[in-house]
Amino acid sequence: MEEKIEDLYGYVQERCLWQFFSRTWDRQENIDGVLGKAEQILSGQQPTNETPLEKLHYADAVIMVKDFRERFPWIRECGAAEVKQLMDGLKTRLVETVITKSTNRELSHHLY
């Protein structure tokens, strides 16, 4: 499982700018939103897209899922439970890297 999460993490770090928004809350919102939509798509569910933000996260998730399926064929064989584990592990890894361990002091500056 860890190796699979590492594969997905490497892709996101290389290809997805939404993880690097300028504030902590923005980064968390994007990580939760895009990976939540990706989890739904990979599990065969149709995500709701009622708000502009949901539509934005969905658009990013669709591209990411398409690439996941092309680059990592094993993901097509994953059931909903395994997809959830993968996305939860990926979220944890991203939050740790781009929020918790970030040395960018502007992420949580009180004047922003």
CA distance 77 to 59: 23
Domain positions in the chain: 2-100
Instruction: Go through 87-110 and write b for each residue having 16 or more CB atoms within 10 A of its CB, e for each that does not.
Output: bebbbebbbeebbeebeeeebeee
Neighbours of 5 (CB within 10 A): 18
- Tens digits of residue pLDDT in 95-109: 999 988 877 777 777
CA distance 88 to 92: 6
Q: Could you tell me where the DSSP H helices lie in 16-103?
A: 24-42, 52-71, 80-95
The pTM is what?
0.90
Q: Give the pLDDT confidence score for residue 15 in this predicted structure.
A: 92
- Tens digits of residue pLDDT in 32-42: 999 999 999 99
Q: Give the pLDDT confidence score for residue 24 in this predicted structure.
A: 85
